Amino acid sequence: MIGKERQIYYTTPAGGAHRYLLSASAKEVIMFRRQMFYGITFILLIAIIFLLMRGRSAEKERAAQQNTRLAEIAAEPSSPVRAIMPRDLEIVDAKISWTRNSDEKDAAAAHHVISIRNTGEGSYKGLRLRIEYINEKKQIVETRKQEIDESLPPGETLRVQDIVVDGLPDAAGDARITILSADIV
């Protein structure tokens, strides 16, 4: 038993020295704990690196979508009476129903019923909407623009029921609708 024992000197932070006599099994326990510590530290480090890289890629994707939206706004014809993304117009309700043709590819049609409220003090006309069709993974599969020529007085809600968009991909399952611009009357 003397050959398997080992003396270890341990110095405390206060400067005191202690001497321990450890057996081979105690040394194995210490080595196992050390390996577990290094292993867990390594796994945590990998997890942190993964989360940082995933966050950066999501940030790049959001920036690309924002640049696309800014390009769409810049492509809108300029007018001294046009409000770009007016804050006082809000989409109160947006319902969608689908008709799908199983014989043809990309032959889905979306039927929209949209209610828009004017919470501001001015009247609007010529509303331009952007409709983003998204799949089950919340990815955009198609983007369309739609124009509504009806006027919307202050404090009123406009309900549009006859918006039909044809030729959509079969993967489209839902839609996000935003107001791109509106003409001030």
Q: Please choose, from the candidates 16, 17, 83, the residue with its C-alpha nearest in 3D space to the C-alpha of residue 8.
A: 17
Q: Please choose, from the candidates 111, 96, 115, 94, the residue with its C-alpha nearest in 3D space to the C-alpha of residue 158.
A: 115
Q: Please choose, from the candidates 181, 34, 177, the residue with its C-alpha nearest in 3D space to the C-alpha of residue 113.
A: 177
Contact, 124 vs 90, CB < 8 A? no
- Give the pLDDT confidence of 42-101 residue by residue, as tens digits: 999 999 999 999 888 888 888 887 777 767 766 666 566 777 788 899 999 999 998 887
Task: Enumerate helices (H) and strands (E) in the chain, giving the number of each.
Answer: 1, 9
The pLDDT assigned to 1 comes to 43
In angstroms, rounded to a whole number, what is the distance separating the alpha carbons of residues 171 and 97? 14
